[in-house]
């Protein structure tokens, strides 16, 4: 349970060595750089935007090339491929990419060019397909769509904006101009909105016919051409076939780059790393011959880093304590078990200035409460084994994901323990199967008791566990006050509350209310009863007098103390919150039992057994998923609201070192200078 101590590091070195020094810092990954330094007359920041932009553009081009390969030559990945993490490579392999970066970039540009050409061809194919579709209504037309007629006849090729038969068109023209009688109407085709026609008439009647056609909604086609529509369609289909053949050749060429993936990934990470370095270079303060940088380094890494810098460069390194007014970044250090739960604490907030890391204490209660909520041995075994297999199968997974899966593995062990204590194995599956198929019901006895048979007992224990949880939280507040030598605050804000709450608890236990809930009677000797009253009254009086101790007005001071004493209702609410341990524990068992009962209702026989297995698998999978999520959410809630509310605020910012932030690979060896 520790927040690693931080120190300030200041480096002043020759400007000619700045890139190499940054590479060392980047590879070591133990320094968070302070980029808020202000310029003066001597030290200025240089403009690296152009260089950084080139590296970022190259990285983006390589990423796009990898996306192209994935589109046309997809890698075979399993369902859990997202857990594989980054591919480990040695530093020599990573360094070799520098020698062939130009060739790799040429490959990336070629892949991009090929993909662009394929996209253009597909666009042209789509364009021609649309043209073919537009010509489809005209495919029975035996003349070009721009056919205007002959010396003696005029042709009108176009559409009428409604569905009309040949007779209706003829009648419409005659009604518009009764003098017209020498014309020929040919309906080419029709659809739900319009009619496609070709109408012929003598040259002298053309103006009158055109006017009449306009009256019935005639319009020339938007697409015209000098070819017969059917022949035009055939020509377009031939062009489409050529383009499709070309795309097949281009896709084959792309497939030929399948084995370049590793180089593309290494090069992408190389340029991404260089872009990160140049971003820092642009924020360094530099004079004509020197540069300076400041930052934070964990105390445990400071000496080793200082030694490496002095061995390889001519520079000045100063390691100093963090000034009181500064807020150092937070880096947690815990054992393997507790480190698995760091994500829970971090999601609430890292320790603020002067706070302790609550992870170790919180991890024990998280482990304890999670299993109590899920509380089925079979479910616990499934979760434990599944998480263990995933951890072994994917050793290179991202660190945060690895911690989360390890956390669930430990919670599975807790669930297994509580399931054995409560006698839950897929609910009551042992009872159901032995009764249904063997005619003699067998029960696996609980090592402690069965919550479904004695829920009030579990409720009392849940609240008891909750009180311990809350008292530990209050005790951690006391520890921080003693550490900071605030002894009066410790007495007033911790000791008095412990005395008052313990007194109330001692008054409650022998009461009839507790006896009715716990279904048992506890009688204290007179001495303890008197002590309980002394604790309760003395604690209450002390809180009333001392909570507002910073105020010299005694009336206001007592009023503030009385208001603080009212917080007893908050404690009651907090204790009652632990009834969720009972609720979720019962929910798991009840739903599991209902699933088993539903499966057994079908009866014996082959069909009954098959349906029983189907219901069993589906029902218990759903129950496990729902209650696993419920246990996770509510265990978090007990830590964030009840436990942290007693002593912890958070608000610290995470230690973010300048390091090699790669996207595809993990570099295993240290930098070689």
Is residue 672 over pLDDT 70? no
Q: Which two tokens stand for residue 233?
A: 């369609």
Paired residues of 581 in beta bridges: none
Q: What is the mean pLDDT of residues 323-337?
A: 90
pLDDT above 90 covers what percent of the chain? 63
Asked if pLDDT for residue 83 goes beyond 80, the answer is: no
**pLDDT band with cut points at 50, 70 and 90 for residue 1:** low
Model confidence at 353, pLDDT cuts 50, 70, 90, reads confident
pLDDT for 106 equals 94
Please state the φ and ψ torsions of residue 374, each to the nearest 5 degrees. Answer: -85, -45
Query: What is the rounded CA–CA span in Å between residue 370 and residue 418?
Result: 10
Question: What rounded mean pLDDT belongs to the chain?
Answer: 90
Average pLDDT value for residue range 631-637: 96
Report the alpha-carbon angle 443-445-447, nearest 5: 165
Give me the CATH topology for the region 143-227: Alpha-Beta Plaits (3.30.70)
Pairing of strands 665-667, 87-89: parallel
- Ranges of H-type helices in 2-100: 18-28, 49-72, 91-99
426 phi-psi bin (left φ>0, alpha ψ -120 to 50, beta other):
left
What pLDDT, on the 0 to 100 scale, is given for residue 594? Answer: 95
Distance (Å, whole) CA 275 – CA 658: 12
pLDDT bracket for residue 524 (50, 70, 90): confident
Closest CA to 545 of 492, 596, 504: 492
What tens digit of pLDDT does each residue of 302-314 get? Answer: 999 999 999 999 9
Q: How many CA atoms lie within 13 A of 87 on its CB side?
A: 10
Mean pLDDT of 238-264: 94
- 579-600 helix and 455-483 helix, angle to the nearest 10 degrees: 140
- Return the pLDDT at 547: 82
CA 159/CA 138 separation, integer angstroms: 10
Query: Tens digit of pLDDT for each residue in 143-157?
Result: 998 899 998 999 999
Pairing status of strand 153-160 against strand 285-286: unpaired
Q: What is the pLDDT of residue 340?
A: 96
Overall average pLDDT of the 464-469 stretch: 96
Q: Are 423 and 445 in contact (CB under 8 A)?
A: yes
547-593: per-residue pLDDT in tens? 877 777 777 888 888 888 888 888 999 999 999 999 999 999 999 99
Residue 92 has pLDDT above 80, yes or no: no
Q: Given a cut of 80, is residue 40 above it in pLDDT?
A: no
Q: How far apart are CA 620 and CA 426, in angstroms?
A: 7
Per-residue pLDDT at 673 exceeds 70: no
Report which of residues 552 and 323 the model is more confident about: 323
Of the candidates 334, 324, 325, 327, the residue with the CA atom closest to the CA atom of residue 296: 327
Range(s) for CATH 3.30.70.2750 in the chain? Answer: 143-227
């Amino acid at each position: 349970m520790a927040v690693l101590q931080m120190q300030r590091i200041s480096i002043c070195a020759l400007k000619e060595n700045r890139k190499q020094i940054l590479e060392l810092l980047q590879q070591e990954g133990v320094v968070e750089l302070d980029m808020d330094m202000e310029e003066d007359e001597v030290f200025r920041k240089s403009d690296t935007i152009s260089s950084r932009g080139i590296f970022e553009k190259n990285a983006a081009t390589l990423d796009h090339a990898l996306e192209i390969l994935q589109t046309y030559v997809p890698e075979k990945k399993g369902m859990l491929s997202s857990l594989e993490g980054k591919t480990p490579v040695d530093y020599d392999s990573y360094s070799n990419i520098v020698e062939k970066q130009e060739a790799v970039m040429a490959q990336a540009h070629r892949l991009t060019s090929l993909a662009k050409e394929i996209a253009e061809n597909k666009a042209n194919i789509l364009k021609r397909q649309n043209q073919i579709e537009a010509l489809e209504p005209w495919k029975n037309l035996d003349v070009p769509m721009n056919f205007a007629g002959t010396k003696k006849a005029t042709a009108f090729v176009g559409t009428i904006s409604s569905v009309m038969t040949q007779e209706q068109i003829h009648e419409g023209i005659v009604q518009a101009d009764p003098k017209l009688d020498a014309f020929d109407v040919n309906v080419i085709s029709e659809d739900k909105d319009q009619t496609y026609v070709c109408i012929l008439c003598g040259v002298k009647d053309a103006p009158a016919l055109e006017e009449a056609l306009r009256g019935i909604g005639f319009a020339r086609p938007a697409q015209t051409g000098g070819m017969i529509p059917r022949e035009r369609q055939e020509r377009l289909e031939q062009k489409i076939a050529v383009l499709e053949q070309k795309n097949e050749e281009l896709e084959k060429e792309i497939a030929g780059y399948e084995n370049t993936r590793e180089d593309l990934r290494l090069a992408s990470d190389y340029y991404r790393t260089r872009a990160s370095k140049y971003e820092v270079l642009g924020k360094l303060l530099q004079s004509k011959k020197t540069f300076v940088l400041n930052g934070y380094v964990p105390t445990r890494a400071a000496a080793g880093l200082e030694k490496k810098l002095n061995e390889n460069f001519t520079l000045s390194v100063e390691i100093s304590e963090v000034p009181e007014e500064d807020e150092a970044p937070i880096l947690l250090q815990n054992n393997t078990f507790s480190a698995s739960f760091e994500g829970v604490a971090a999601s609430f907030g890292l320790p603020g200035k002067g706070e302790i890391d609550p992870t170790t204490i919180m991890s024990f209660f998280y482990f304890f409460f999670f299993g109590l909520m899920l509380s089925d041995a079979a479910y616990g075994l499934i979760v434990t084994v599944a998480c263990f297999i995933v951890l072994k199968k994917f050793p290179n997974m991202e660190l945060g994901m690895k911690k989360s899966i390890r956390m669930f593995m430990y919670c599975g062990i807790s669930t297994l323990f509580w399931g054995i204590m409560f006698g839950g194995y897929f609910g009551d599956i042992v009872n159901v199967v032995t009764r249904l198929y063997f005619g003699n019901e067998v029960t696996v006895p609980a090592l402690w008791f069965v919550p479904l048979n004695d829920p009030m007992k579990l409720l009392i224990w849940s609240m008891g566990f909750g009180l311990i949880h809350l008292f530990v939280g209050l005790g951690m507040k006391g520890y921080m006050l003693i550490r900071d030598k605030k002894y009066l605050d410790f007495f007033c804000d911790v000791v008095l509350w412990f005395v008052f709450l313990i007194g109330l608890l001692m008054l409650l236990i022998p009461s009839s209310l507790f006896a009715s809930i716990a279904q048992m009677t506890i009688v204290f000797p007179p001495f303890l009863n008197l002590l309980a009253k002394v604790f309760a009254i003395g604690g209450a009086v002390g809180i009333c007098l001392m909570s507002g101790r910073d105020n010299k007005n005694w009336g206001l001071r007592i009023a503030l103390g009385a208001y603080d004493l009212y917080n007893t209702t908050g404690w009651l609410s907090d204790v009652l919150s632990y009834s969720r341990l009972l609720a979720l524990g019962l929910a798991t068992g009840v739903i599991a039992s209902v699933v088993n009962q539903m499966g057994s209702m079908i009866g014996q026989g082959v069909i009954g057994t098959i349906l029983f297995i189907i219901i069993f698998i589906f029902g218990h999978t759903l129950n496990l998923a729902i209650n696993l999520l419920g246990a996770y959410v509510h265990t978090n809630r007990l830590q964030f609201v009840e436990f942290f509310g007693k002593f912890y605020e958070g608000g610290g910012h995470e230690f973010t070192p300048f390091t090699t932030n790669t996207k595809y690979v993990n570099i295993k060896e240290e930098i070689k200078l």
